[in-house]
Amino acid sequence: MCFGEVLFDLLPMGKVEGGAPMNVAIQLNNLGVSSGMISRVGKDGFGEALISFLQRKGLATNTIQKDSAHHTGIVDVDMSDPTNVRYDIIQPVAYDFIEVTADLIQLVQQAKVFVHGSLIARSETSKNTLLELLEVAQMVVFDVNLRVPHYSQEVLEELLQEADMVKMNEEELETIAEWYDAYDGELKAMQWLKEQFDLQSICLTKGAEGAAFLDDSGFYECAGIEVDVADTIGSGDAFLAGFLSQKLAGKAPQDCLEFACATGALVATFRGGTPKIDEGMVREVLD
């Protein structure tokens, strides 16, 4: 189960469905992992369009709440630099008001993995719902995904303490480690963070430079895969979906990491965050 924002990215060429946890859920589904999405949309045209989109992608929508008081989420996207996309995330919107229900608690209890980010914790209502669901989750994957100004050190610490696996990029690792004057290169910072918050594992994405992974069995690295980049929207989300798909299949960390890098690279060759991909397409990138 993935928890968090569903929204429309307003791009220069038009609107595109988005939201990091939604992208993860869709790509997990594309890779053969049964997945669901917990969120909230407004009772408006954008909300109806997002629900139709999720249905077309093969996801159930009974866990998408409808809000009569708040509009569906939107993000103004600046793509003037396609390798460093900028986001203006509108607030407040419907996904800031996700309500906890007995059905959601049961679904999260049953799920093998529960994925969430930090953006959804910017509001008290959705943050409190998240904290209740974290209490019953079997395995918590925290996709840090920092978006200025939609986070605080206090909330990040709370979410890190509840996480089993954390995925972040280089800038996010440096930002968090520097809060404690603990940044002394990537590996040492990852080791410090893992120990500080009693994490099972950390996944570090480095864009075109590849990725790294740290758990109790050791430290693993994967070089970047060269592709023709259309845009990087959703690449990090696809990376996480690729990693989890292999982890759930019982693959070794190095295999998970290489598959994840290939998944992220593949999605970067498309425009938008949720192109239709499958495992065979990822394997072709690896070959």
Q: Please state the pTM of the whole predicted model.
A: 0.95
Rounded CA separation 166/213 (Å): 10
pLDDT in tens, 2-47: 999 999 988 888 898 999 999 999 999 999 999 999 999 999 999 9
Which tokens in the block code for residue 131? 């904290």
pLDDT in tens, 87-103: 799 999 999 999 999 99
φ, ψ at 255 (rounded to 5°): -65, -40
Length reported for the chain:
287
What is the reported pLDDT for 272? 79
- As beta bridge partners, residue 161 has none
Range of the domain at 223: 2-286
CATH number at residue 29: 3.40.1190.20
pLDDT in tens, 126-175: 999 999 999 999 999 999 999 989 999 999 999 999 999 999 999 999 99
Count of domains observed in the chain: 1
For the packed helices 124-134 and 153-162, what is the interaxial angle rounded to 10 degrees? 20
